[in-house]
Amino acid sequence: MKFLHPSPQSSARGITILRVVFGALVMVHGIQKLMAGHAAFAASVAAMGVQKPELVAWLVIAGEVGLGLLLVLGALTRVAGFLSALMFAGIWFVTEAGKPLLTDRAGVTAELLIIYFAVSVAFVFLGSGALSLDRKLSRQPSRR
């Protein structure tokens, strides 16, 4: 029953897969907003009653694209996870705060934001996994 006790290498590979897929999904959200046009996204942000919607729209687009890319590459993973968690908490606060968690509809209100927040926080603790720039840059040259 070796699968019940994974090796550190297999755990690190699993973290890598999760990091790359999650980072790519976050990045795609930002790219979609960018391709639809900043003005269109800023208008939807303004409709939510957010002050400075043009600035907030740029921050969300830059956050999703930039932090997603850092996660895909495994660069500054713990920092990117922390900043992503802040971003998703802020998005939740603006879009979902005050709504009931459970309604007559299937699922949980804002469950995707909750999952994105939780995965972001997990990267703060887990780090980057096996294949990452963080891992590559942290290796010290061997001493002779």
11 inside domain: no
114 inside domain: yes
139 inside domain: no
Three-state secondary structure call for residue 131: coil
- Report how many domains make up the chain: 1
Tokens of 140: 């010290």
What is the CB-side half-sphere exposure of residue 89 using CA atoms within 13 A? 10
117 inside domain: yes
For residue 21, which phi and psi values (nearest 5 degrees)? -65, -45
49 inside domain: yes
Residue that is written with structure tokens 């973290």 in the block: 15
Residues 95-116 have a mean pLDDT of 79
Residues 54-64 have a mean pLDDT of 96
For residue 10, pLDDT beyond 70: yes
Q: Percentage of the chain surpassing pLDDT 70?
A: 92
d(CA 25, CA 8): 26
Contacts 24+ apart (CB under 8 A), 132-137: 132/16, 132/19, 132/73, 132/74, 132/75, 132/77, 133/73, 133/74, 133/75, 134/74, 134/75, 134/76, 134/77, 135/74
pLDDT for residue 130? 84
d(CA 132, CA 130): 6
93 inside domain: yes
Domain that holds residue 36: 20-98+105-128
Residues 9-34 have a mean pLDDT of 94
111 inside domain: yes
8 inside domain: no
CB 113 within 8 A of CB 88: yes
d(CA 61, CA 33): 7
d(CA 30, CA 134): 23
For residue 144, pLDDT beyond 60: no
